[in-house]
Amino acid sequence: MNSKFIVIEGLEGAGKTNATAQVVNILRQQGIHDVVFTREPGGTPLAEALRQLIKEGVDDEPVTDRAELLMLYAARVQLVEGIIKPALARGAWVIGDRHDLSSQAYQGGGRGIDVRLLQTLRAAFLGNFRPDLTLYLDIPQDMGLVRARARGKLDRIEIESLAFFDRTRARYQALAAEDERIVTIDATQPLSVVNSAIRTCLTQWLRIQEFSP
Ligand code: T5A
């Protein structure tokens, strides 16, 4: 089987860390051991510096929505060109904690940035590059934020309004419904049930990939 790019998406506290571990277990059981992990924003020294700027800002300077979007894209391009594409080219599998769908949902849905601008950026900077499979962990924002808050201090995006996260979730759900490469997992369930849903979905998908040309 050719190497694949699998992405885990969802609101804060949806359980992406747990899902990543579950995906890796399943891949190992299938004999796939060469796996590279990425997170967005981040994953290279420059992209990690941008992550810090995106999540914390600088002093009290307000960050405009478009500046936030461009920083996210700068980090993404750096990661895709420097890490993800080379890993896939040498035959490794890549597991991403977030990718472009986050921008479509948070910046498109949450911030309300025009979809045409997002499509233009994606076409210009990513071209046809897409994840082979995205597992979208669907959770209402109040439940996810309770989990995220338990970790401690909230960052610049996590302190956004409930309406922001409702719009973000609605965009995630709409995009997942129209793209067969995005599978929605109900992340409100207990961890054991979420893990079993991930196992069922990924095992079936791997079987299909095995027999695809
Ligand atoms: N962003 C990012 C954008 O706005 N646009 C973009 O394009 C991109 C790429 C990134 C921030 O940047 C924004 C989105 C984010 O605000 P981040 O830290 O990478 O920040 O992402 P977060 O979503 O904030 O990371 P979290 O760690 O909060 O989320 P996870 O990884 O989904 O949560 P996880 O797995 O650590 O789980 C949190 C807690 O819940 C428990 C876990 O054990 C853990 O304690 N848990 C469960 N408990 C009960 N039942 C379950 N099913 C559970 N699943 C997990």
The rounded Å distance from CA 212 to ligand 1 centre is 33
pLDDT above 70 for 129: yes
- What ligand 1 atom has the least distance to the C-alpha of 98? 9
pLDDT above 80 for 152: no
Cis before residue 41, ω within 30 degrees of 0? yes
Confidence label for 128 from pLDDT (cuts 50, 70 and 90):
very high
Report the range of poorest mean pLDDT among 73-82, 104-113, 151-160: 151-160
Contact 124, 116 (CB under 8 A): no
**What does the mean pLDDT of the chain come to?**
95
CB count within 10 Å of CB 116 equals: 8
pLDDT above 90 for 98: yes
Give me the residues paired with residue 133 across strands: 6
- What ligand 1 atom has the least distance to the C-alpha of 191? 52
As a whole number, mean pLDDT of residues 162-189 equals 97
And the tokens for 140?
């209402």
The C-alpha torsion from 20 through 22 and 27 to 28, rounded to 10°, is 110
The rounded Å distance from CA 138 to ligand 1 centre is 11
Pairing of strands 5-10, 182-186: unpaired
Report the range of poorest mean pLDDT among 8-12, 18-22, 29-33, 146-150: 146-150
The rounded Å distance from CA 30 to ligand 1 centre is 27
The rounded Å distance from CA 83 to ligand 1 centre is 22
As a whole number, mean pLDDT of residues 72-81 equals 98
As a whole number, mean pLDDT of residues 57-72 equals 96
Quote the pLDDT of residue 148. Answer: 80
**What's the CA gap between 147 and 12, in Å, rounded?**
8
Quote the pLDDT of residue 146. Answer: 84
Smallest CA-to-CA distance from 157 within 46, 65, 61 is with 65
pLDDT above 70 for 213: no
Quote the pLDDT of residue 197. Answer: 98
Provide residues with CB under 6 Å of ligand 1.
Answer: 10, 12-18, 39-41, 72, 98, 102-103, 106-107, 147-148, 157-158, 187, 190-191, 194
pLDDT above 70 for 88: yes
Quote the pLDDT of residue 211. Answer: 81
Whole-number Cα distances in Å, 137 to 103, 186, 210 = 16, 6, 25
**What's the CA gap between 182 and 105, in Å, rounded?**
13
Quote the pLDDT of residue 1. Answer: 82
Confidence label for 153 from pLDDT (cuts 50, 70 and 90):
confident
Quote the pLDDT of residue 25. Answer: 94
Report the range of poorest mean pLDDT among 27-31, 79-83, 119-123, 153-157: 153-157
